[in-house]
Chains A and B, each alone.
Chain A
Amino acid sequence: MSDDYLWDGGGSPGPDDQDVVKLEQMLGQLRAPLPAAPDLNRLTQLRSSHAADATTTHIAYATVRFWAPALAMAAAIALMIAGTYRTLTTGDPGPTWEVERMDGQPRIESASQSARLEGIGRLGVGQTLATDHESRARLDVSTIGQVTVDPNTRVRLVSTREGRHELALARGTLHAFIAAPPGQFVVNTPSSTAIDLGCVYTLHIDEDGSGLLSVAAGWVAFEYKGRESFVPARASSRTDPALGPGTPRYDDTDETFQRALERFDYDRSRTARSAGLAYVLEHARSNDAMTLWHLLSRTDETERNAVIDALEKRSPMPLGVTRDAVMNLNRAALDFWWDSLGLQDASWWRKWKGPYPAKP
């Protein structure tokens, strides 16, 4: 079969292309001109009302939030054992990813050697892609997306197989674009694990292991030692080697709000933490309910009452949820409240469980 014909139907089909031709003829019956684009007059009205009221959709958040870290951990352990066994018994380095030099002189390093990347190369499991201050490179994440690696970055391919791909970012910056169901692409850092839920994001890690995750589209689950953040589009979350992921906040919050949140998350002084929390609770906007909800499980009992009050002002406690249940961090209560926040387009959680929803 010729590459050209399957690629674009170019040239005359050879004998081996006959099944492609047959499929084109059969499936061509399903082809039709595109219908007219949607009516923009109606859409413009809808867009105005959508901006004014973003509380129409609900997400069921519990399944991913509570199972994602456990699933990620189990899969990572299984892959590590399988990979080690294969390497020891067969010497097979396993599958590789295509890597392309974009600028400067990136290097591909393994335990025994380091080689300059010229043009296009392959990155194997266990190998590290390293860029200096002026080099950049692009990685194909199997066939599900791409990662662009900025200067001064070290990233290692931990494992790759259909349905599961894992990198370790030691330091530097990567930009990930993933077109796959949730949970297939994972990036480990010294202070967190980023689990892709179908999205576009940037992850930066400093030399000391601290860093920042910024999501452009979709969602990313950010987890470390049981501390979790779920970061939606247009939001970011810091991470710290001692404490793991910080509380996520939207990028259009002002700098004072962001500094206050960081003080609450990471300052060692209880007074500074309390001051940071007080500022956040007082100045949160209605759509910062996402941030406030995360604070419920990050505060102690003496602080949590105030968080509940602040969240309730922005998003009333749903029927069936009690203050006592939230104070006790009852899982179902927290989930009900999250579901009522009206965060848009989070039906990704269903895809986490499989390509089709379960039969009713």
Chain B
Amino acid sequence: MLTVARQSDAESIAADVKAVARGDREAFTRVYAAYGRMVRGILLGRVPRRDVDDLLQDVFVTAYLRIGELREPAAFGGWIATIARNRATDHLRRSRDHDQLPPELPGGDAVEADTLIVLDAIRKLPDAYRDTLLMRLVEGMSGAEIADRSGLSAGSVRVNLHRGMKLLREKLGWHADE
């Protein structure tokens, strides 16, 4: 049943993506709701927190403008993830402040310094682990959701979560037996 439900979900998203290409506004809102957290997780791993929501909008604007280039609606997740990564890289290149994030970020909520230390450690992980951990731990997505949205297999997501956690513990000096 779960497989059937996921397939149906995937078909429904593919239909929405096609509808967006035809200019359907309600479909665009549904696609945004479905992929927004994934895109935000990718951005948070790369740019200052204060810029994430602006870039989130930029990424979906770009996707909307270029959706005609996407031949396979089923590839939407990977496609918009690539847009997000490229947009983050462009932003860093322009803002030139990517290597030093202040502990208190203007325009953001006051966040404990420890949290920002953890975020910084995750940002130093390889791409696949960084993205997956932020989707899971910040955006609250389940492993199955991450797989559905990103286009990766459940097995790959599981491996990314476990390897990412292992590396993160090492970076933070946490140990499994503590």
Q: How far in angstroms is the closest Cβ of chain B from A341? A: 16
Residues of A within 8 A of B (CB): 1, 3, 6-9, 16, 19-20, 23-24, 26-31, 34-35, 37-38, 40, 43-44, 46-47, 50-51, 98, 138, 140, 142-146, 162, 177-181, 198-200, 216-218, 233-234, 344-345, 347-348, 350-351, 355-357, 359-360
- The verdict on A37 contacting B29 (CB below 8 Å), with A30-B115, A143-B160 known, is yes
With the chains together, A46 CA to B134 CA distance in Å?
31
Residues from chain A with a CB closer than 8 A to the CB of B65 are 43, 46-47, 50
Specify which chain A residues have a CB less than 8 angstroms from the CB of B57 in the assembled complex.
35, 38
Complex Cα gap A321–B122 (Å): 45
B56 touching A35 by the CB < 8 A rule?
Answer: yes
Min Cβ gap A57→B in Å is 10
Contact of A7 with B138 in the complex, beta carbons under 8 Å: no
Task: Specify which of A16, A29, A44, A217 lies most central, judged by the most chain B CB atoms within 10 Å of its CB.
Answer: A217
Contact check, A30 vs B111: say whether CB atoms are below 8 A apart. yes
Q: In the complex, what's the smallest C-beta–C-beta distance from A119 to chain B, in angstroms?
A: 13
Q: Are A345 and B86 in contact (CB under 8 A)?
A: yes
Once the chains bind, are A200 and B64 in contact (CB under 8 Å)? no
B143 touches A26 (CB 8 A): no
> Does residue B159 face the partner (Cβ distance < 8 Å to A)?
yes
- The contact string, 1 if C-beta is below 8 Å from chain A, for chain B 45-78, is 0000100010011001110111011111001001
Residues of B within 8 A of A (CB): 23, 25, 28-29, 32-33, 36-37, 40, 44, 49, 53, 56-57, 60-62, 64-66, 68-72, 75, 78-79, 81-83, 85-86, 89-90, 92-93, 96, 98-99, 109, 111-112, 114-115, 118-119, 126-128, 134, 136-140, 142-144, 150-153, 155-163, 165, 168-169, 174, 176, 178
Complex Cα distance, B84 from A198, in Å, reads 12
Give the secondary structure class of B's interface. Answer: helix
Q: Which residues of A contact B82 (CB under 8 A)?
A: 179, 198-199, 217-218, 348
What's the least CB distance linking B34 to chain A, in Å? 10
Contact A180 B127, CB 8 Å, known A31-B140, A146-B152, A218-B82? yes
Residue of B92, B109, B127, B144 most packed against chain A (CB within 10 A): B127
Given A16-B176, A31-B139, A37-B60; A143-B72 close (CB under 8 Å):
no
If the complex has contacts A20-B165, A23-B118, A35-B56, are A217 and B92 also in contact, measured as CB distance less than 8 A?
no
Instruction: Identify the closest chain A residue to B169 (Cβ).
Output: A19
Which residues from chain B contact A26 at a C-beta distance below 8 Å?
A: 112, 114-115, 118
Whether A216 contacts B176 by the Cβ 8 Å rule is no
Q: How far is the CB of A3 from chain B (nearest CB, A)?
A: 7
CB neighbours of A43 from chain B (8 A):
61, 64-65
Among all A-B residue pairs, the 10 with the closest Cβ atoms: A8-B142, A216-B71, A37-B32, A7-B143, A143-B156, A200-B75, A347-B86, A357-B93, A34-B36, A26-B115
The smallest C-beta distance from B98 to any residue of chain A, in angstroms, reads 6
